[in-house]
Structure 1
Amino acid sequence: MSERLQPGDPAPAFTLSDADGKQVSLADHLGRKVIVYFYPAALTPGCTKQACDFTDNLDLLAGAGYDVIGISPDKPEKLGKFREKESLRVTLLADPEKAVLTAYGAFGEKTMYGRTVTGVIRSTVVVDEEGRVERALYNVRATGHVAKLIKDLGV
Protein backbone atom coordinates (compact mmCIF):
# COMPACT_ATOMS: atom_id res chain seq x y z
CA MET A 1 0.00 0.00 0.00
CA SER A 2 1.42 3.35 -0.99
CA GLU A 3 1.59 6.45 1.13
CA ARG A 4 -0.83 9.25 0.43
CA LEU A 5 0.68 12.50 -0.72
CA GLN A 6 0.52 15.63 1.44
CA PRO A 7 0.59 19.32 0.45
CA GLY A 8 4.20 20.41 -0.04
CA ASP A 9 5.41 16.96 -1.13
CA PRO A 10 7.21 16.82 -4.48
CA ALA A 11 4.78 15.32 -7.01
CA PRO A 12 6.18 12.01 -8.27
CA ALA A 13 7.52 12.41 -11.82
CA PHE A 14 5.92 10.31 -14.54
CA THR A 15 5.91 9.64 -18.26
CA LEU A 16 2.99 7.62 -19.63
CA SER A 17 1.33 6.94 -22.98
CA ASP A 18 -1.74 8.92 -23.95
CA ALA A 19 -4.71 7.63 -25.97
CA ASP A 20 -2.64 8.03 -29.17
CA GLY A 21 0.43 6.26 -27.77
CA LYS A 22 2.38 9.53 -27.39
CA GLN A 23 4.51 9.96 -24.27
CA VAL A 24 3.33 12.63 -21.81
CA SER A 25 5.38 13.65 -18.76
CA LEU A 26 4.45 15.68 -15.71
CA ALA A 27 7.63 17.68 -16.47
CA ASP A 28 5.98 18.85 -19.74
CA HIS A 29 3.66 20.95 -17.56
CA LEU A 30 6.22 22.73 -15.34
CA GLY A 31 5.24 26.39 -15.03
CA ARG A 32 1.51 25.55 -15.03
CA LYS A 33 -0.70 24.05 -12.39
CA VAL A 34 -1.87 20.52 -13.13
CA ILE A 35 -4.93 18.68 -11.88
CA VAL A 36 -4.03 14.98 -12.02
CA TYR A 37 -7.04 12.78 -11.41
CA PHE A 38 -7.04 9.01 -11.02
CA TYR A 39 -10.05 6.91 -11.98
CA PRO A 40 -10.71 3.15 -12.02
CA ALA A 41 -11.82 2.41 -15.60
CA ALA A 42 -12.69 4.12 -18.86
CA LEU A 43 -16.19 3.60 -20.29
CA THR A 44 -17.84 3.02 -16.88
CA PRO A 45 -20.70 5.26 -15.69
CA GLY A 46 -18.95 7.07 -12.80
CA CYS A 47 -15.68 7.56 -14.67
CA THR A 48 -17.56 8.80 -17.74
CA LYS A 49 -19.45 11.36 -15.62
CA GLN A 50 -16.20 12.59 -14.04
CA ALA A 51 -14.32 12.80 -17.37
CA CYS A 52 -17.25 14.66 -18.97
CA ASP A 53 -17.38 17.10 -16.01
CA PHE A 54 -13.65 17.84 -16.43
CA THR A 55 -14.12 18.24 -20.21
CA ASP A 56 -17.11 20.57 -19.70
CA ASN A 57 -15.01 22.76 -17.38
CA LEU A 58 -11.72 22.51 -19.27
CA ASP A 59 -11.84 26.03 -20.73
CA LEU A 60 -12.62 27.53 -17.30
CA LEU A 61 -9.76 25.56 -15.67
CA ALA A 62 -7.30 26.29 -18.50
CA GLY A 63 -8.16 30.00 -18.26
CA ALA A 64 -7.23 29.85 -14.56
CA GLY A 65 -3.88 28.23 -15.44
CA TYR A 66 -4.73 24.57 -14.86
CA ASP A 67 -4.00 21.62 -17.14
CA VAL A 68 -6.04 18.44 -16.55
CA ILE A 69 -4.68 14.89 -16.82
CA GLY A 70 -6.71 11.75 -16.14
CA ILE A 71 -4.85 8.52 -15.34
CA SER A 72 -6.28 5.00 -15.21
CA PRO A 73 -4.90 1.45 -15.52
CA ASP A 74 -6.53 1.16 -18.98
CA LYS A 75 -4.48 0.54 -22.13
CA PRO A 76 -4.09 3.44 -24.64
CA GLU A 77 -6.48 1.77 -27.13
CA LYS A 78 -9.31 1.76 -24.58
CA LEU A 79 -8.58 5.40 -23.70
CA GLY A 80 -8.88 6.26 -27.40
CA LYS A 81 -12.31 4.61 -27.57
CA PHE A 82 -13.35 6.42 -24.36
CA ARG A 83 -12.22 9.79 -25.75
CA GLU A 84 -14.02 9.25 -29.08
CA LYS A 85 -17.26 7.90 -27.59
CA GLU A 86 -17.59 10.73 -25.05
CA SER A 87 -15.89 13.56 -27.04
CA LEU A 88 -13.40 14.07 -24.20
CA ARG A 89 -10.82 16.85 -24.38
CA VAL A 90 -8.86 16.08 -21.20
CA THR A 91 -5.51 14.32 -21.57
CA LEU A 92 -5.99 10.64 -20.71
CA LEU A 93 -2.94 8.58 -19.76
CA ALA A 94 -2.52 4.81 -19.47
CA ASP A 95 -0.88 3.28 -16.39
CA PRO A 96 -1.45 -0.49 -16.86
CA GLU A 97 1.45 -1.31 -14.50
CA LYS A 98 -0.18 0.96 -11.87
CA ALA A 99 3.23 2.46 -11.01
CA VAL A 100 2.03 6.07 -11.11
CA LEU A 101 -1.26 5.20 -9.40
CA THR A 102 0.77 3.62 -6.58
CA ALA A 103 3.28 6.51 -6.40
CA TYR A 104 0.39 8.95 -5.91
CA GLY A 105 -1.36 6.82 -3.28
CA ALA A 106 -4.25 6.18 -5.67
CA PHE A 107 -3.98 2.39 -5.69
CA GLY A 108 -4.52 0.16 -2.68
CA GLU A 109 -7.16 -1.11 -0.31
CA LYS A 110 -10.59 0.44 -0.44
CA THR A 111 -14.07 -0.48 0.65
CA MET A 112 -16.57 -1.29 -2.07
CA TYR A 113 -20.10 -2.46 -1.29
CA GLY A 114 -19.01 -3.27 2.27
CA ARG A 115 -16.03 -5.41 1.23
CA THR A 116 -12.35 -4.54 1.31
CA VAL A 117 -10.81 -4.81 -2.15
CA THR A 118 -7.57 -3.69 -3.77
CA GLY A 119 -7.99 -1.28 -6.65
CA VAL A 120 -7.87 2.28 -7.89
CA ILE A 121 -8.82 4.85 -5.26
CA ARG A 122 -10.60 7.71 -7.05
CA SER A 123 -8.28 10.61 -6.25
CA THR A 124 -7.30 14.09 -7.40
CA VAL A 125 -3.92 15.71 -6.85
CA VAL A 126 -3.35 19.38 -7.68
CA VAL A 127 0.30 20.05 -8.56
CA ASP A 128 1.67 23.60 -8.48
CA GLU A 129 3.88 25.32 -11.08
CA GLU A 130 7.05 24.02 -9.39
CA GLY A 131 5.91 20.39 -9.31
CA ARG A 132 4.85 20.29 -5.65
CA VAL A 133 1.58 18.89 -4.32
CA GLU A 134 -0.84 21.71 -3.56
CA ARG A 135 -3.81 19.49 -2.68
CA ALA A 136 -4.27 15.72 -2.43
CA LEU A 137 -7.86 14.49 -2.30
CA TYR A 138 -8.64 10.80 -1.86
CA ASN A 139 -11.86 8.77 -2.12
CA VAL A 140 -13.57 11.56 -4.04
CA ARG A 141 -17.01 11.06 -5.58
CA ALA A 142 -17.35 10.81 -9.34
CA THR A 143 -20.40 13.08 -9.33
CA GLY A 144 -20.08 16.66 -8.13
CA HIS A 145 -16.33 16.43 -7.53
CA VAL A 146 -15.31 18.78 -10.35
CA ALA A 147 -17.77 21.48 -9.23
CA LYS A 148 -16.50 21.23 -5.63
CA LEU A 149 -12.87 21.32 -6.82
CA ILE A 150 -13.50 24.47 -8.90
CA LYS A 151 -15.16 26.11 -5.88
CA ASP A 152 -12.32 25.08 -3.51
CA LEU A 153 -9.67 26.33 -5.95
CA GLY A 154 -11.49 29.66 -6.26
CA VAL A 155 -11.72 29.35 -10.05
Structure 2
Amino acid sequence: MIPNKEWMSIRNRREPGFVDGVNNFIDYAFSHSANKEAIRCPCTKCRNAVYKGRSEVQYHLLKNGILENYSTWNFHGEGAGNTQDSTSTQELNEDHMLEDTLDDMDGLLNDIYGRRGEEEDFGMDTEEVAEEPNQDAAAFYRLLQEAKEKLYPN
Protein backbone atom coordinates (compact mmCIF):
# COMPACT_ATOMS: atom_id res chain seq x y z
CA MET A 1 0.00 0.00 0.00
CA ILE A 2 1.29 3.43 -0.98
CA PRO A 3 1.85 5.75 2.00
CA ASN A 4 -0.08 9.00 2.36
CA LYS A 5 1.58 11.78 0.36
CA GLU A 6 0.15 14.80 2.17
CA TRP A 7 3.50 15.30 3.91
CA MET A 8 5.04 16.31 0.57
CA SER A 9 3.19 19.64 0.63
CA ILE A 10 4.25 20.57 4.18
CA ARG A 11 6.66 23.51 3.93
CA ASN A 12 8.15 23.23 7.44
CA ARG A 13 10.50 20.25 7.15
CA ARG A 14 10.86 20.10 10.96
CA GLU A 15 7.15 19.45 11.43
CA PRO A 16 6.47 15.92 12.74
CA GLY A 17 4.11 15.19 9.83
CA PHE A 18 6.88 15.88 7.33
CA VAL A 19 9.45 13.82 9.25
CA ASP A 20 7.01 10.88 9.56
CA GLY A 21 6.20 11.16 5.85
CA VAL A 22 9.89 11.04 4.94
CA ASN A 23 10.39 7.94 7.08
CA ASN A 24 7.32 6.22 5.59
CA PHE A 25 8.47 7.11 2.07
CA ILE A 26 11.93 5.66 2.72
CA ASP A 27 10.48 2.44 4.16
CA TYR A 28 8.17 2.12 1.14
CA ALA A 29 10.93 2.87 -1.38
CA PHE A 30 13.40 0.38 0.09
CA SER A 31 10.73 -2.31 0.39
CA HIS A 32 10.06 -1.97 -3.37
CA SER A 33 13.68 -1.71 -4.50
CA ALA A 34 15.78 -4.55 -5.87
CA ASN A 35 18.81 -2.74 -4.45
CA LYS A 36 18.52 -2.91 -0.67
CA GLU A 37 21.56 -0.68 -0.10
CA ALA A 38 20.59 2.46 -2.05
CA ILE A 39 17.70 4.16 -3.84
CA ARG A 40 17.42 7.24 -6.02
CA CYS A 41 17.35 10.34 -3.85
CA PRO A 42 14.27 12.45 -4.72
CA CYS A 43 15.45 15.58 -2.92
CA THR A 44 15.46 18.90 -4.74
CA LYS A 45 19.22 18.73 -5.27
CA CYS A 46 19.70 15.10 -6.34
CA ARG A 47 16.48 15.02 -8.42
CA ASN A 48 16.36 11.19 -8.61
CA ALA A 49 19.70 11.15 -10.43
CA VAL A 50 21.88 9.95 -7.54
CA TYR A 51 21.65 6.71 -5.55
CA LYS A 52 22.01 7.11 -1.79
CA GLY A 53 21.68 4.96 1.30
CA ARG A 54 18.75 5.13 3.73
CA SER A 55 20.25 7.69 6.14
CA GLU A 56 21.57 9.90 3.32
CA VAL A 57 18.16 10.00 1.60
CA GLN A 58 16.54 10.87 4.93
CA TYR A 59 19.08 13.64 5.57
CA HIS A 60 18.68 15.08 2.06
CA LEU A 61 14.88 15.05 2.22
CA LEU A 62 14.86 16.75 5.62
CA LYS A 63 17.45 19.31 4.53
CA ASN A 64 16.41 19.98 0.91
CA GLY A 65 12.81 18.78 0.67
CA ILE A 66 11.32 16.45 -1.93
CA LEU A 67 10.82 17.29 -5.59
CA GLU A 68 7.61 19.29 -5.78
CA ASN A 69 6.22 17.52 -8.85
CA TYR A 70 7.20 13.98 -7.81
CA SER A 71 3.62 12.91 -7.07
CA THR A 72 3.92 9.45 -8.66
CA TRP A 73 6.88 7.66 -7.15
CA ASN A 74 7.78 5.83 -10.35
CA PHE A 75 11.45 5.44 -9.32
CA HIS A 76 10.46 4.08 -5.91
CA GLY A 77 8.02 1.27 -6.64
CA GLU A 78 4.73 2.99 -7.28
CA GLY A 79 2.97 1.33 -10.19
CA ALA A 80 5.73 -1.23 -10.57
CA GLY A 81 3.83 -4.07 -8.94
CA ASN A 82 5.25 -6.29 -6.28
CA THR A 83 7.23 -8.75 -8.36
CA GLN A 84 10.97 -8.80 -8.85
CA ASP A 85 10.47 -8.97 -12.64
CA SER A 86 8.53 -5.71 -12.76
CA THR A 87 11.19 -4.00 -10.65
CA SER A 88 13.87 -5.26 -13.05
CA THR A 89 11.82 -4.06 -16.01
CA GLN A 90 11.45 -0.66 -14.36
CA GLU A 91 15.21 -0.45 -13.81
CA LEU A 92 15.85 -1.43 -17.45
CA ASN A 93 13.47 1.30 -18.61
CA GLU A 94 15.25 3.79 -16.35
CA ASP A 95 18.60 2.73 -17.84
CA HIS A 96 17.28 3.26 -21.37
CA MET A 97 15.96 6.71 -20.43
CA LEU A 98 19.38 7.61 -19.02
CA GLU A 99 21.12 6.17 -22.09
CA ASP A 100 18.88 8.22 -24.41
CA THR A 101 19.78 11.33 -22.46
CA LEU A 102 23.50 10.58 -22.61
CA ASP A 103 23.35 9.73 -26.33
CA ASP A 104 23.04 13.43 -27.17
CA MET A 105 26.49 14.26 -25.83
CA ASP A 106 27.40 15.84 -29.20
CA GLY A 107 24.45 18.20 -28.84
CA LEU A 108 25.46 19.07 -25.30
CA LEU A 109 29.03 19.85 -26.29
CA ASN A 110 27.85 21.88 -29.26
CA ASP A 111 25.51 23.83 -26.98
CA ILE A 112 28.38 24.60 -24.63
CA TYR A 113 31.05 25.45 -27.19
CA GLY A 114 28.85 26.50 -30.11
CA ARG A 115 28.45 24.71 -33.41
CA ARG A 116 31.64 24.04 -35.29
CA GLY A 117 32.17 22.91 -38.83
CA GLU A 118 29.57 21.92 -41.37
CA GLU A 119 26.78 24.35 -40.41
CA GLU A 120 28.99 27.42 -40.56
CA ASP A 121 28.65 29.29 -43.84
CA PHE A 122 29.53 32.91 -43.83
CA GLY A 123 28.78 33.42 -47.54
CA MET A 124 32.47 33.62 -48.39
CA ASP A 125 34.53 31.42 -50.62
CA THR A 126 36.92 29.74 -48.28
CA GLU A 127 39.68 27.31 -48.90
CA GLU A 128 40.35 24.46 -46.57
CA VAL A 129 43.22 25.51 -44.37
CA ALA A 130 45.64 22.80 -43.37
CA GLU A 131 46.65 24.07 -39.96
CA GLU A 132 46.45 22.42 -36.60
CA PRO A 133 43.61 23.55 -34.32
CA ASN A 134 44.50 25.74 -31.35
CA GLN A 135 44.53 24.25 -27.86
CA ASP A 136 40.84 25.02 -27.13
CA ALA A 137 39.67 23.65 -30.48
CA ALA A 138 41.79 20.51 -30.04
CA ALA A 139 40.22 19.94 -26.60
CA PHE A 140 36.75 20.42 -28.10
CA TYR A 141 37.40 17.92 -30.91
CA ARG A 142 38.80 15.43 -28.39
CA LEU A 143 35.62 15.78 -26.28
CA LEU A 144 33.49 15.19 -29.38
CA GLN A 145 35.44 12.02 -30.17
CA GLU A 146 35.19 10.78 -26.58
CA ALA A 147 31.45 11.49 -26.54
CA LYS A 148 30.99 9.03 -29.41
CA GLU A 149 32.63 6.21 -27.45
CA LYS A 150 30.50 4.02 -25.20
CA LEU A 151 31.23 4.44 -21.51
CA TYR A 152 30.60 0.75 -20.89
CA PRO A 153 31.00 -1.66 -23.83
CA ASN A 154 27.79 -3.63 -23.15
Please tell me the TM-score bracket, short chain as reference: under 0.3
Which structure has the larger Rg over C-alpha atoms? 2
Structure 2 length normalisation: TM-score? 0.26
Q: Specify which structure has the higher proportion of strand.
A: 1
Q: Specify which structure has the higher proportion of helix.
A: 2
Structure 1 length normalisation: TM-score? 0.26
Higher relative contact order (CA 8 A, sep 6+): 1
